[in-house]
Amino acid sequence: MSLLAEMNQKALDLGLPISVHFDITYRCNERCVHCYLDHDDHGEMTTAEIVDVLEQLADAGVFFLSLSGGEVLMRRDFFEIVERARQLLFNVKVKTNGVMIREKEAARLRQLGVEQIQISVYSHRPEVHDAITKLPGSLKRTVQAIRFLKSQGLKVTIANVLMAGNFSDNTGVMALAKDLGVLYTLDPTITPKMDGDTSIIALRIPGSDLKQVFHNQELVGNVEEFCAPPPAPGEDVMDGVPCSAGHTACYISPYGDVFPCVQFPLPSGNVRRQKFLDIWRHSPELNEVRSIRARDLPTCSTCAHVGTCTRCPGLAYMEGNMRGPSTADCEKSFQRTGIPSANMLKRTRAASAGPLIQIQSLPNSVQNHNVALNVALEENFLTV
């Protein structure tokens, strides 16, 4: 176990929040087609409020702090926030589109000791990237920003969200990252909007493309190992927690709302009304999330993939049940191994069985007879 993994385990054992993802604004200068946020400002926290939250997070033991948005540089006080975060000795990661980063901003980030910058790039081709961000010239400015940041010696990661519209460009983005000397990470997950709107799910890449990603040695390393059938789950797997959300990590919105994770919009408290530690320790919602073990998941506990699946409880929650399957992750497990998940098999069986009782609108005079007939059909079906 690595030292970092040991610390994560220790934080889990002690019930401490070691990581916080803090969106300091939802405002943005891009309008990405797949974005899950509402970019209007509905009353963001002030500088003083954010600084107070940062001090509370430091006292609570938070070490990893991701500052994100929206576009973080849309806040005029962005560097003031980073400066205070660094004074409080957080390990700071900044997620940005880079459009507003020039030499001066890159130098300031370096001076403040930001550990890592993550920048979204959707394609190496301007016509594709700019069509996704809906900001003409955005790829050029983003790539310039990466060069400025690299020249300062900062660690930069290109995050490539894969959608149907840019899937074929992932090798081009990977080559761009190599050329720029930065890290590359790929994410095929498109999440529903925070308000529950699922229309953007249609942008997800189809299963066949997902399969191609999972069988690309350059992306996953040892394909045979990565795509191997899942081993039989042991007791440790059934007693395991699904992910760090609510256990050692949480998310804070620009309005002070606390959630288990940015992908898990279960309102668990608000730092404008309560102290962060009170929410972390006593929120009924966070405590419910923490109580769930793999064995408590009605469908997933019976699934062959239970020990290796990337099941996201937040996506499951957005599908209607935090103890249910996350169909996007069922699809990933299937495309990776070729073995359908328990949820997929259940849905296939339900679809092929068809309805047991056909309900039709009938005249009152024959309704009783019809009910009797349907019951008879059901009995026949069950005895076959």
Partner 1 sequence: MAEKYISRSSAIAARMLGGEMMVMSAVDSTFFTLNEVASAIWQAADGRTPLSEIVASKICREFDVDRERAQRGADRFVDELSQHGILLVSEQPIMDFSSSPGNQ
Binding site for partner 1 (CB under 8 A): 3-4, 6-7, 10-11, 14, 16, 18, 58, 61-63, 86-92, 113-116, 153, 155
Q: Name the minimum Å distance from CB 258 to partner 1.
A: 20
- Of the two residues 43 and 153, which places its CB atom closer to partner 1 in the complex? 153
Tell me whether residue 88 or residue 159 sits nearer to partner 1 (CB atom): 88
Q: To the nearest whole angstrom, how small is the minimum distance from the Cβ of residue 94 to partner 1?
A: 12
Cβ proximity of 65 and 93 under 8 Å: yes
In angstroms, what is the C-alpha Rg of the chain?
24
Among residues 157 and 189, whose Cβ is nearest to partner 1?
A: 157
> For residue 322, what are the contacts with CB-CB under 8 A and spacing of at least 6?
264, 266, 288, 289, 292, 313, 314, 316
Please state the closest distance from residue 248 (CB atom) to partner 1, in A.
Answer: 11
By beta-carbon proximity to partner 1, the closer residue of 58 and 203 is: 58
DSSP state letter for 186: E
Question: Considering the complex, what minimum distance in angstroms separates the CB of residue 2 from partner 1?
Answer: 8
Q: Which amino acid belongs to residue 185?
A: T
**CB 58 to partner 1: min, Å:** 6
CB of 290 to partner 1, least distance (A): 18
Question: Can you read off the two tokens belonging to residue 380?
Answer: 């026949």
CA 275 to chain centre: 25
CA–CA dist 377, 126 (Å, integer) = 61
Nearer to partner 1, 82 or 163 (CB): 82
Bridge partners of 91, per DSSP, are 64
Least Å distance, CB 155 to partner 1, is: 7
**Which CB, 3 or 48, lies closer to partner 1?**
3
The token pair that represents 283 in the structure block: 């929120």
Q: What are phi and psi of 14, to 5 degrees?
A: -90, -5
Least distance CB 281 / partner 1 (angstroms): 16
Q: What single-letter amino acid sits at 59? A: D
Q: Could you tell me the two tokens for 98?
A: 């880079």
Write down the least CB distance from residue 88 to partner 1, Å: 5
* Bridge partners, 218 (sequence order): none
Q: Number of helices and strands (H, E) in the chain?
A: 17, 8
Decide: 358 and 314 in contact? Cβ < 8 Å. no
Least Cβ distance, residue 64 to partner 1 (angstroms): 8
Crossing angle for the helix pair 138-151 and 103-111, nearest 10 degrees? Answer: 40
The span from the CA of 98 to the CA of 96, in Å, is 5
Write down how long the chain is. Answer: 384
Nearer to partner 1 among residue 114 and residue 328 (C-beta): 114
Determine phi and psi for 353, rounding to 5 degrees.
-70, -35
Residue 153 or 196 having the CB closest to partner 1: 153
The residue (of 183 and 345) whose beta carbon lies closer to partner 1 is 183
- Within 10 angstroms of residue 236's Cβ, the number of other Cβ atoms is 9
DSSP 268-328: --BTTTS-HHHHHHH-HHHHHHHH--GGG-TTGGGSTTTTT----HHHHHHTT-TTS--HH
Which C-beta is closer to partner 1: that of 86 or that of 147?
86
